[in-house]
């Protein structure tokens, strides 16, 4: 039964991330904590998502401008690592609700009030976006939405956007999985569950690839902002 549940949720996660560029972790973490302790659920989700981000990165690698990826990846991982250390010192339940409200307001702004096209942000704003994103990843396990907003403003096509954000996610996923293995959060017992999840998430990605090729950049952005709002609601409730 666990294999079926993990396979189904991984399939849905692959479809969502294949279309929007993020969201696999959000989908999987809606279910996996019911099957594993929270830290193990996060580890299983992280490990499953590696193959998804690697596949998407490889598909869109030709569109990536490497200078737009290296420093965001380094900053994101650094801030996320520091935040993980301090995560035990904050009230997680309260902070998740605050973060959820923030995501809902952010989604509403971009969907209904921001009529101008995204422009490249200056260095200070970019650092804030990435820093807050990394902090939220370490504190809440949800850093994707803010990285989405950063890369939507820094890239000029859906291919460049998808490739760039997956490159950053891939670095963080590999790092996070290694840390969990070293700390024995992930053990050989988890490998079969991770394996079935990887297969199903790639099936979901294959389905998403057929969808995303028929969508223009603006539709993908609108879908992305809706998912950000849903992510916020899931954190509040």
Question: What pLDDT, in 10s, does the model give residues 59-99?
Answer: 888 998 888 889 988 998 898 778 766 765 667 677 667 77
Q: Which of 6-15, 20-29, 216-225 has the highest mean pLDDT?
A: 6-15
pLDDT of residue 112: 76
Question: What pLDDT, in 10s, does the model give residues 114-153?
Answer: 554 444 556 787 888 888 888 877 666 667 767 877 887 7
What is the model's pTM? 0.74
What is the mean predicted confidence (pLDDT) over 40-49? Answer: 87
Q: How far apart are the first and last CA of the chain?
A: 27
pLDDT of residue 53: 86
What is the mean predicted confidence (pLDDT) over 54-59? Answer: 88
Q: Where are the beta strands (DSSP E) in 18-111?
A: none
Q: Which of 23, 22, 52, 20 is nearest to 197 (CA)?
A: 52
Question: What pLDDT, in 10s, does the model give residues 169-213?
Answer: 888 888 878 878 887 888 999 999 999 999 999 999 888 888 766
Q: How confident is residue 6, by pLDDT bands cut at 50, 70 and 90?
A: very high
pLDDT of residue 67: 82
pLDDT of residue 7: 95
Tokens 């976006």 belong to residue: 129
Contact 126, 150 (CB under 8 A): yes
pLDDT of residue 117: 47
pLDDT of residue 181: 86
Is the pLDDT at 2 greater than 80, yes or no? Answer: yes
CA distance linking residue 53 with residue 164, whole number of Å = 10
Residues sharing a CB contact under 8 Å with residue 4, sequence separation 6 or more, in sequence order: none
CA distance linking residue 132 with residue 140, whole number of Å = 11
Neighbouring C-beta atoms of residue 143, cutoff 10 Å: 26
């Amino acid at each position: 039964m666990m294999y079926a549940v993990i396979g189904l949720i991984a399939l849905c996660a692959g479809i969502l991330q294949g279309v929007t560029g993020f969201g696999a972790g959000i989908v999987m973490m809606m279910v996996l904590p019911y099957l594993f302790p929270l830290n193990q659920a996060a580890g299983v989700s992280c490990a499953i998502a590696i193959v998804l981000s690697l596949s998407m990165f490889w598909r869109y690698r030709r569109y990536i401008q490497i200078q737009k990826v290296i420093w965001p990846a380094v900053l994101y991982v650094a801030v996320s690592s520091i935040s993980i250390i301090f995560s035990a010192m904050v009230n997680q339940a309260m902070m998740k609700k605050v973060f959820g409200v923030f995501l809902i307001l952010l989604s509403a702004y971009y969907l209904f009030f921001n009529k101008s096209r995204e422009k490249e942000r200056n260095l200070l704003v970019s650092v804030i976006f990435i820093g807050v994103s990394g902090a939220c990843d370490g504190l809440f396990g949800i850093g994707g939405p803010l990285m989405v907003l950063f890369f939507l403003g820094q890239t000029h096509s859906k291919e460049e956007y998808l490739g760039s954000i997956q490159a950053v996610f891939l670095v963080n996923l590999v790092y996070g999985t290694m840390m969990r293995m070293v700390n024995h959060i992930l053990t050989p017992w988890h490998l079969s569950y991770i394996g079935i999840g990887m297969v199903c998430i790639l099936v979901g990605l294959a389905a998403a690839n057929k969808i995303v090729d028929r969508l223009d950049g603006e539709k993908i952005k609108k879908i992305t902002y809706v998912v950000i709002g849903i992510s916020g609601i899931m954190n509040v409730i």
